[in-house]
Chains A and B, each alone.
Chain A
């Protein structure tokens, strides 16, 4: 039944099914925002690791003199400080990656990456709100 009082449910999502779907640009060992797949790919010890935009809470970077630090915060249980923590999780007892911080000397590119992540997040949230309004 479709009514507003229904509890928020976790919806499954998936970035890629096969490794040949990874964009070729992951070879540069830099952060890649794959808008088409709603995914941010992060280099961790030489491996391209996808994170779906639905797992990302926010991203911001802090430029220093000759490098910048990009911090990506992910959604995880126990973060609902000061507001209702109604974010649904598939398995709240799992281990969660809560944040990843990267350092880069390529400040302009990281600035673009940060903006791309923020915009992608905004787009997805906006589309979901619109969808929900249509359902109501």
Chain B
């Protein structure tokens, strides 16, 4: 068992404790509420990434059932311990993903397994899980608009307030103080009608 404190789960308001063992990972909110523990079985793990995030460093786990799980607040020195435990217990690498910091708004939008990545100079600038997208449409010539799922109430976590306000899929943008509601891209060569997709943002 390896334990890390001051870790935020899925943009939770408060930090909790996350623990890793050979069976998977768990996250406990502050205040010792043992009933409300988030767990993810290691058989679900597909991929794990290490990046700089808002609170500190982030471990992002892509899993079969839960899609993207974000754990933010690790220290840079935690990397070696985490990379080792992912290798030994889960037989997967903790991929170090350095994000673009150039401040450019041009690059390449790429569609991965679970998320849309915007790459700047071959480095990801940000990712958007598909679960967070409520609608896309062709807003104009060469212009694609993406709308994000917004809880009716900005403070609604989608988890009945449990897990210290950690967000469920489809509610993640609500975890920020300033909540992203729409993103528009200029895509050269987009002429035909964009596919209108409505994804199920509810759990």
Give A contacts to B, CB under 8 Å.
Answer: 13-19, 21-22, 26-31, 39, 42-52, 54-55, 67, 69-70, 74-78, 89-106, 110
Given contact pairs A29-B54, A45-B180, A96 touches B102 in the complex (Cβ within 8 A): no
In contact, B181 and A102 (Cβ under 8 angstroms): yes
Q: Indicate with 1 or 0, residue by residue over B145-183, a CB within 8 angstroms of chain A CB atoms.
A: 000001000100000000000000000110111111111
List 14 additional A-B contacts (Cβ < 8 Å) besides A50-B101, A95-B188, A99-B183: A19-B52, A19-B98, A46-B53, A47-B51, A47-B58, A51-B103, A55-B105, A98-B186, A101-B182, A102-B181, A103-B178, A104-B177, A104-B178, A106-B178
Which of B25-33, B38-46, B83-91, B125-133 is near enough to bind chain A? B125-133
Asked whether A97 lies within 8 Å of B183 as measured between CB atoms, the reply is: yes
The listed residue with most A CB atoms (<10 A of its CB), out of B106, B127, B141, is: B106
Assess the B143–A43 pair: CB atoms within 8 A.
no
Given the interface pairs A44-B126, A45-B126, A101-B180, the reply to whether A95 lies near B185 with Cβ below 8 Å is: yes
Distance (whole angstroms) from the CB of B45 to the closest CB of chain A: 19
Question: Which B residues lie within 8 Å of A94 (CB)?
Answer: 106-108, 188
A113 CB to closest chain B CB, in angstroms?
A: 8
B118 near A97 with CB under 8 A, answer yes
Contacts of B187 in A (CB 8 A): 95
Are B154 and A105 closer than 8 Å at their CB atoms? yes
Question: B178–A110 contact, CB under 8 A?
Answer: yes
- Interfacial chain A residues near B173, Cβ < 8 Å: 45
List residues of chain A with CB within 8 A of the CB of B172: 45-46
The complex places the Cα of A91 from the Cα of B110 at a distance, in Å, of 17
- Asked if B154 and A67 sit within 8 Å, CB to CB, the answer is yes
How far in angstroms is the closest Cβ of chain B from A87?
12
- Are A55 and B104 closer than 8 Å at their CB atoms? yes
Q: For residue A49, which residues in chain B have a CB less than 8 angstroms away from its CB?
A: 99, 125-126
Indicate whether B17 reaches chain A with its CB closer than 8 angstroms: no
Tell whether B75 is near chain A: CB-to-CB under 8 Å: no
B139 to A: closest C-beta gap in Å:
9
Q: Is the CB of B106 within 8 A of A29?
A: no
The complex places the Cα of A74 from the Cα of B117 at a distance, in Å, of 18
B14 within 8 A of A: no
B103 x A70 contact (CB < 8 A): no
